[in-house]
Amino acid sequence: MRNTAKITTAVLAAGALTLGLTGCGADKASGSDGPLVVAASPTPHAEILTYVKDHLAKKAGLDLEVQEFTDYVTPNTATEDGSVQANYFQNQPYLDDFNKKNGTHIKPVVTVHLEPLGLYSREVKKAGALKSGATVAVPNDTVNEARALKLLDDNGIITLKDGAGNDATPKDIAKNPKNLKFKELEAAQTPRSLGDVDAAVINGNYAIESDLKPAKDAVVLESPKNNPYGNFLAVKEGEEKDARVKKLAKLLTSDEVKKFIEDKYAGSVVASF
């Protein structure tokens, strides 16, 4: 039986989070001798963790609990305030931006996988077929919006200004030959926008949750080669040496997990180790 505490939430304030987790294992989250509680996005992160829990953790002497979150904020605030000991959902550019803006002290432990970002559409099957003036939905958080625009730039749909980096916005577009319009949405909402826009740039985890197959359905897909957006296990600074964290890091980068990722996701999620 899958023993996963599932929390469906929008962005919660840190104070409300502490109260909300009181009945969800927060007491057990403290103390190095208790279970390791990890906050994760449902797909594929919690699925990968659940595979570890069900098949590998017991033999390794690891008591693992998984808590699912549907946004990109509360896993870090929960890790910072100690409600959970670790999280698994994000990449380095996102974490750098989050720590800077929120004064948090989250550190990566080990990179596990990449979810290629993709452009999806119900209207066209090739990027070149996008009509003039088409509306494209993009994630509205700093890093993922810049990543989405870079995807469009890499595929010749737009051209970004020289020097546009991990905080690029539509204002940094130098050339927009199709005069595309951009609709900025919370990342989790982008799949639902496909019926209302001409195309949407969607994070891999949200695409999979919406029954999209990135390797098959994306109009254009991010290349995994030299990609800086690998997703990793992360902890609050100072917790990297926790024996439970070390055990989980080793299991997450095992041959068994690599095979699980390859078999289950068929190229829509790619192991990064």
175 & 128 share domain: yes
Residue 82 has pLDDT above 80, yes or no: yes
pTM for this entry: 0.76
**Rounded mean pLDDT of 198-203?**
97
What CATH number is attached to the domain comprising 153? Answer: 3.40.190.10
99 & 233 share domain: yes
147 & 65 share domain: no
CA dist 145 and 98 (Å) reads 14
65 burial via Cβ count (<10 Å: 0-12, 13-18, 19+) = buried
C-alpha closest to that of 29 among 89, 85, 79, 88: 85
Residue 246 has pLDDT above 70, yes or no: yes
**Per-residue model confidence (pLDDT) at position 223:** 87
101 & 160 share domain: no
Structural domains of the chain, count: 2
CB 40 within 8 A of CB 46: yes
Higher per-residue confidence, 125 vs 33: 125
136 & 212 share domain: yes
145 & 51 share domain: no
201 & 185 share domain: yes
Q: Give the DSSP letter string of 56-90.
A: THHHHT--EEEEE-SSSSHHHHHHHHTSSSEEEEE
Q: How confident is the model at residue 32 (pLDDT cuts 50, 70, 90)?
A: low
Range of the domain at 198: 118-221
76 & 161 share domain: no
Residue 273 has pLDDT above 50, yes or no: yes
CB 230 within 8 A of CB 113: yes
Dihedral sign, Cα of residue 193, residue 74, residue 257, residue 221: positive
**Rounded mean pLDDT of 142-155?**
95
152 & 203 share domain: yes
